[in-house]
Amino acid sequence: MKEEVLFEISSLSRNPLKVKGFRFGREGTTPSCVIVGPMMGTAIDQLWIASQLVRFLRQHELANAAFVKGEILVIPTVNPYSFNMGKNFWPLDNTDIDVMFPGYDKGETTQRIASRLFEKTNNYDYAILLEARKDHVECIPYVEVLESGMSYIEDARAFGLDFIHVKEETPNDTVSLTYNWNVWNAKAFSLISGKKGILHKHEANKVFDAIVRFLVKKELIDFSTFEGSHGNLVMPNDVEAIKSSAAGLFDTLANIGDSVVHGQPLARIFNSLDGTLIQTIISPCDGIISCRYDYSLIFQNAIAYRIVKVESAQNNL
Partner 1 sequence: MIEEVFNVNLPVNETLTLRRNRFSPEDISTSTKRISIVTGIHGDEIEGQYVCYLLAKWLNANQHCIKGIVDIYPSMNPMGIDSITRGFPFYDVDLNRNFPGNTADFLPAQVANAIVDTVRGSDFAIDIHASNIFLRELPQVRISRSTADELIPLAEKLDIEFIWVHDAVTVLESTFAHAMNSLGTKTLVVEMGVGMRITKEYGQSLTRGILNLLAHVGIIERAVLPMTKTTVSNLHSEVFFVNASKSGIFIPILEHNVTVLKGEKLGEIIDPLSGRIEETLISPCNGLLFTIREYPVVYEGSLLARILEDPKEDTAL
Report the interface residues with partner 1, using CB under 8 A: 9-12, 88-89, 92-94, 99, 106-112, 134-136, 170-172, 174-175, 241, 243, 246-250, 272-273, 297-303
> Which residue's CB is nearer to partner 1, number 114 or number 313?
114
Angle between helices 44-63 and 201-217 (to 10 degrees): 50
Q: How far is the CB of 275 from partner 1 (least distance, A)?
A: 13
Alpha-helical segments (H) within the chain: 44-63, 80-83, 109-121, 153-156, 177-183, 201-217, 310-315
Burial letters for 28-37: b for 16+ Cβ neighbours within 10 Å, e otherwise? eeebbbbbbb
* DSSP bridge pairs for 126: 33, 187
> Which residue's CB is nearer to partner 1, number 102 or number 160?
102
> Which residue's CB is nearer to partner 1, number 68 or number 177?
177
- Which amino acid is it at 166? V
* Phi (first) and psi of residue 130, to 5 degrees: -95, 125
> Which residue's CB is nearer to partner 1, number 36 or number 291?
291
How many separate helices (H) and strands (E) can be counted in the chain? Answer: 7, 17
- For the chain, report the end-to-end CA distance as a whole number of angstroms: 39
> Which residue's CB is nearer to partner 1, number 153 or number 247?
247
Q: How far is the CB of 66 from partner 1 (least distance, A)?
A: 41
Q: How far is the CB of 183 from partner 1 (least distance, A)?
A: 12
Q: How far is the CB of 274 from partner 1 (least distance, A)?
A: 10
DSSP 3-state of 37: coil
DSSP 3-state of 207: helix
> Which residue's CB is nearer to partner 1, number 111 or number 290?
111
Q: How far is the CB of 43 from partner 1 (least distance, A)?
A: 13
DSSP 3-state of 90: coil
> Which residue's CB is nearer to partner 1, number 32 or number 111?
111
Q: Is 273 exposed, middle or buried (0-12, 13-18, 19+ CB in 10 A)?
A: exposed
Q: How far is the CB of 107 from partner 1 (least distance, A)?
A: 6
Q: How far is the CB of 99 from partner 1 (least distance, A)?
A: 7
